[in-house]
Chains A and B, each alone.
Chain A
């Protein structure tokens, strides 16, 4: 790979650029990268890492709530991805495939650590309905939004939170989430609906409330 080509790939992968990417653009970029990475092109695999590691790291950080553990789990996720990259046929599935590996790494981490094992089946306090809407002019920005979301998400138990994050934060289709979680699509929809209600009941205090 020449330097110019590598530069353009990673520039496209920059988080600032990724904001503008729609799904089809993401796929069209992943497609040639995946092929080259499967043939052992280290620069292509590096570019895939740059494109997808922010989401994977954030997902693992939300589940583990421990920065060092999340970094280690991200590393393990991409090492496993490298090992079985050749088994992936469709670049469009790359993102959900990586989240599937990340979830397995998370589960193994929890099983191996006694203090984390309780996270695999956290209790959920179901909310029947949220009858208020957020106040239209309530705006949370940057770090404040991050903090508020983290606090609200802490009230959603695993594995429901995992499914909720895959939908709301990472934009996976219900079918893909079903595959990652090993659930039926109807269960995914049901759990995400319940998770949303829990999240909204927590967010109400920050976003105001109007009926």
Chain B
């Protein structure tokens, strides 16, 4: 080769995408050519530098705004097209429903892109914004659901200094599905025969309880004709033992004292759960705080941390890219089985003397720290993750962390 190869050839050489014959030819040239050797060194340096750049997804608000705008555009399309337009519009009805639902479902978190059943296209026609009408016979709509026989007895009031109130009579614990975009949500235990909602600081001027549809078991809320609450501060009182399922884009969600199962999905909002049975929680960047959750816990985050107060009595499964798991309450029962998978997230155990745990860490570069005085064993298999094991107290519970680079850090005894 008498002439220098092109930059494209050299780039392909570095990328390993040249065919074999040409690769040999160019390599033979570059080995003896100072100019090309220098060019190759620069191309490698540039490639390595650019590969180091941060490659994160934009803030969750960006997607939330895109989703809301698309839903808004579809919503404002001609509602009653005629002729050919009507036929074509029918073809896109499914598309519209998906976008309304997706916007209402506050986007997908960690891939759980939910097609919400709460699409406004599915809900019953709403009353005018400030004069809510009680449902005539919600028990009929409830079908075989647990709330058969319950009756909506009160209406919302939009004129009470911007506060919207709505309540419904129920026969005991209920299941509630709730969807918000940026609204703050607080759910607490209330009277055993009533479910109440208070909404403040919102553009929505009416709220209505919707009993479970046929074949469904969960109550829903209608927000001025929409299935998802865009903004404001929502407070709910539910009978003790109720189950809640909340999907939020960026608002914080707090559930306290309800004592039932809890499922919360949030992109960037903080999640707080206190005094509940099982908890299923998903967050991208928002942190999760749990206090006295008695049942199984399943938590997934991208970068949000999971902090647990109170004793862990059942299985805890934690999956995260970079979020840390902090255990401030003890794990000492045989039923306490903690399984964590992270890329770089750590597991932090406070007050290690309170735990009774068999600990296993599988990691490529992580380790167990703070284990002074404990019997630590290390098993290294070439080409595989290193396995560390140790034990706290009787070792009745279990903690297993599989990670690329996360550590297990033990606090003082």
Give me the interface of A with B, judged by CB distance under 8 Å.
1, 3, 6-11, 14-16, 18-19, 39-43, 46-47, 49-50, 53-55, 57-58, 71, 74-75, 78-79, 82, 130-134, 136, 138-143, 145-146, 148-149, 168-169, 174, 193, 196, 199-200, 203, 207
In B24-46, which residues have CB < 8 Å from any A CB? 37-38, 41-42, 45-46
> Which residues of A lie under 8 Å from residue B45 when comparing CB positions?
134, 138, 203, 207
Knowing A16-B343, A46-B108, A145-B52 are in contact, say whether A53-B62 is a contact too (CB < 8 A): yes
Most interface-central of B46, B67, B101 (chain A CB within 10 A): B46
Contact indicator B57/A54 (Cβ below 8 Å): yes
Mark each residue of chain B from 305 to 323: 1 if its CB lies under 8 Å from any CB of chain A, else 0: 0000000000000000100
Q: Is the CB–CB distance between B55 and A15 below 8 Å?
A: yes
Which residues of B are found within 8 Å of A58, using beta-carbon distances?
A: 53-55
Question: B112 — which chain A residues lie within 8 A by C-beta?
Answer: 3, 6-7
- From A14, A57, A133, A193, contact of B41 by CB (8 A): A133
B69 adjacent to chain A (CB < 8 Å): yes
CA distance A9 to B113 in the complex (A): 10
Shortest Cβ-Cβ A-B pairs, 9 listed:
A40-B95, A10-B111, A145-B52, A43-B113, A7-B111, A133-B38, A133-B41, A42-B102, A6-B113
Q: How far is the CA of A140 from the CA of B113 in the complex (A)?
A: 37
Residues of B within 8 A of A (CB): 7-8, 37-38, 41-42, 45-46, 48-50, 52-59, 61-63, 65-67, 69-70, 92, 94-96, 98-99, 101-102, 107-108, 110-115, 321, 343
**Could you tell me if B113 and A46 are in contact, using CB atoms closer than 8 angstroms?**
yes
A40/B92 in contact, CB under 8 A: yes
Nearest neighbor of B63 in chain A, beta-carbon distance? A49
Report how far A142 CA is from B53 CA in the complex, Å: 6
Chain A residues closer than 8 Å to B110, beta-carbon distance? 7, 10
The residue on A at minimum CB distance from B109 is: A10
| Further 19 A-B residue pairs, CB within 8 A, beyond A58-B54, A74-B62, A75-B62 | A15-B57, A16-B321, A40-B98, A40-B99, A42-B113, A42-B115, A46-B67, A46-B108, A71-B61, A79-B66, A131-B38, A132-B38, A134-B45, A138-B45, A145-B52, A145-B53, A169-B50, A174-B8, A196-B46
Interface of A is mostly: helix
Contact of A15 among B8, B56, B61, B114 (CB under 8 A): B56
Contact A149 B53 (CB under 8 A): yes
Contacts of A149 in B (CB 8 A): 49-50, 53
Q: Answer whether A46 and B107 are a contact pair too, CB < 8 Å, given A134-B41, A134-B45.
A: yes
Check if A10 sits within 8 Å of B49, measured CB to CB. Answer: no
Known A3-B114, A7-B111, A49-B63; contact A74-B58, beta-carbon cutoff 8 A: yes
Are B41 and A71 in touch, CB under 8 angstroms? no
A-B contacts, 28 listed (Cβ < 8 Å): A1-B113, A3-B114, A6-B108, A10-B108, A10-B113, A14-B321, A15-B56, A39-B95, A40-B95, A40-B98, A42-B98, A42-B101, A43-B113, A46-B102, A50-B57, A53-B63, A54-B55, A74-B62, A75-B69, A82-B66, A82-B70, A130-B42, A136-B41, A139-B48, A141-B52, A142-B52, A169-B50, A203-B45
* Chain B residues with CB below 8 A from A43, complex form: 98, 102, 108, 113, 115
Q: Is the CB of B111 within 8 A of A6?
A: yes
On whether A11 and B111 interact (CB within 8 A), knowing A145-B52, A148-B49, the answer reads yes
- B46 close to A168 (CB less than 8 A): yes
A18 touches B55 (CB 8 A): yes
**What chain B residues lie within 8 Å of A54 (beta carbons)?**
55-58
Interface pair B69/A146, CB less than 8 Å apart: no
Q: Complex Cα distance A94/B108, Å? A: 22
Shortest Cβ distance from A10 into chain B, in angstroms? 3
Q: Is the CB of B66 within 8 A of A49?
A: yes
Report whether A134 and B42 are in contact in the complex, using a CB–CB cutoff of 8 Å.
yes
Contacts of B42 in A (CB 8 A): 130, 133-134, 196, 200
Residues of B contacting A1 in the complex (Cβ-Cβ under 8 angstroms): 113, 115
By beta carbon, the residue of chain B nearest A10 is B111
